[in-house]
């Protein structure tokens, strides 16, 4: 990979250059922002001092969230599924109210 595939991200006020495929660039930047946010939350709590310890705590928190969400996938999709069903029902209602044949039945 060439340096043109290098992405510079900033995490906790430090820059890191990371080589990745162009199609993964957006995901990498999003992941770095997410990690930076988690690390800043931990640092601002004042309970953990030192970048290494903050990074480990952030990694543990993110891993815990990931594993917890994998154990309960039905909870994660339920809200989105309900919203999709509601949206479809609204579309059907709108389509039926616009259909002159449906009113005559």
Question: Domain with 36 in it: what CATH number?
Answer: 3.30.160.880
Is the residue at 49 inside a domain? Answer: yes
Is the residue at 104 inside a domain? Answer: no
Is the residue at 65 inside a domain? Answer: yes
Integer Cα distance of 66 and 69 in angstroms: 5
Q: What is the sign of the dihedral through the CA atoms of 70, 74, 75 and 80?
A: positive
The domain in which residue 7 lies consists of 3-97
Is the residue at 34 inside a domain? Answer: yes
Considering 2-6, 48-52, 91-95, the range whose residues carry the highest mean pLDDT is: 48-52
Report the domain count for the chain: 1
Question: What's the pLDDT tens digit per position in 7-30?
Answer: 999 999 999 999 999 999 999 999
Is the residue at 27 inside a domain? Answer: yes
Q: Note whether 17 and 8 are within 8 A (CB).
A: yes
């Amino acid at each position: 990979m060439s340096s043109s595939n290098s992405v510079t991200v900033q995490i906790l006020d430090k820059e890191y250059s990371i080589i990745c495929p162009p199609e993964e660039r957006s995901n990498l930047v999003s992941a770095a922002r997410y990690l930076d946010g988690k690390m800043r939350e931990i640092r601002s709590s004042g309970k953990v001092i030192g970048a290494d310890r903050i990074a480990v705590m952030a990694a543990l928190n993110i891993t815990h969230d990931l594993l917890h969400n994998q154990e309960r996938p039905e909870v994660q999709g339920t809200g989105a599924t309900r919203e999709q069903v509601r949206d479809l029902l609204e579309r059907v209602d709108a389509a039926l109210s616009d259909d002159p044949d449906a009113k005559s039945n």
